[in-house]
A = this chain, B = another copy of it.
Amino acid sequence: MIDPRLGGLDATAVEHTLMEAAAAGAAQSLPLFRTPLDVDNKWTVGFDPVTRADRDAETAIREVIARRFPDHGIVGEEWDAKPGDGPFRWIIDPIDGTRAFITGVPVWGTLVGLVHADEAVAGVMLQPFTGEMWIALPGEARYCRGAETTRLGASSVVDLAQAKLTSTSPDLFEGGSGVVQQQWDAVRARALTVRYGLDSYGYCLLASGHVDLVVEAGLKNVDIAPLIPIIENAGAVVTAWDGGPAIDGGNIVAAATPELHAQVLAVLAKSGA
């Protein structure tokens, strides 16, 4: 069915492309999960694991998208962007959470999203080891595992003092001028509890109502764009720390309710002044 919220694309075709693309990526990455890998060093300083799994998964995902929608643009983590002829761009993070991947923790995910006219309109997160999938299209967001399908819905927590907070790592906030660290410290000190180590899985747990707040810094657009439809169609709110759009990455806050989101933005603004 043609959906104007998808720029006139057929919703079923988009849904199938998301699922097929994520599955094609996972077919490359899952067999290499928990096997010894050559971990290349993308950075000259520090440690950023980029594995063969990452690259092969992205190649497989791009092939699915290019076959289904040959005119669309494609932006991925590992390879150069493919320019498109129109307003559509597919955003890929073949293994979001590569550190989880190389340490054997099943909270990494295959992310694929669709952007139309700079708005994230559909997306999927697949965790193939646990067999979990979060998927969203306009007006709908679902969790699927085996025969189980659940409608996503964020929690009703409105107060930071009652919020379960997650973030990939406290190290995200280090360095720089120290303001970002101050802002993070102000939020986490007021939250009910904080849990690290989740990458995209954290946003999915937010959409499922298990955590109430995700606060992160220094994200790339591929880390967050595919997740925006999942978060928003679960009733939650996601923006940059200054309230601007989340789609380009940077410092991101995702909150279960508008009230909680406003409270966190206020804490960030005050502690960053």
Give the interface of A toward B (CB within 8 A): 34, 47, 49, 99-100, 102-107, 129-130, 164, 166, 169-171, 192-198, 201, 205, 208, 210-211
Contacts and interface: CB of A to CB of B under 8 A. Distances in A.
24 contacts: A34-B208, A49-B193, A102-B164, A102-B210, A103-B164, A103-B166, A103-B195, A103-B210, A103-B211, A104-B205, A104-B208, A104-B211, A105-B107, A105-B210, A106-B130, A107-B107, A130-B130, A169-B194, A169-B195, A169-B196, A195-B197, A196-B197, A197-B197, A197-B198
A34 B148 CA distance: 14
Nearest to A34: B210
Contact of A105 (B34, B170, B198): B198
A201 B166 contact: no
A49 B192 CA distance: 11
A107 B127 CA distance: 14
Contact of A195 (B34, B100, B164, B211): B100
Kindly name the residue among A34, A49, A103, A106 whose own CB sees the greatest number of chain B CB atoms within 10 A: A103
Contacts of A100: 195
Contacts of A49: 193
A193 B49 CA distance: 10
Given A34-B210, A130-B129, A170-B170, A47 B107 contact: no
Nearest to A191: B47
B130 A205 contact: no
A109 to B, nearest CB: 13
B103 A106 contact: no
Contacts of A34: 208, 210
A198 B169 CA distance: 13
A99 B198 contact: no
A49 to B, nearest CB: 8
Contacts of A198: 105, 197
A221 to B, nearest CB: 24
Contacts of A192: 47
Nearest to A107: B105
Contact of A106 (B47, B106, B164, B211): B106
Contacts of A169: 194-196
A201 B102 contact: no
A83 to B, nearest CB: 35
B99 A195 contact: yes
Contact of A196 (B104, B129, B170, B193): B170
Contacts of A197: 195-198
A107 to B, nearest CB: 7
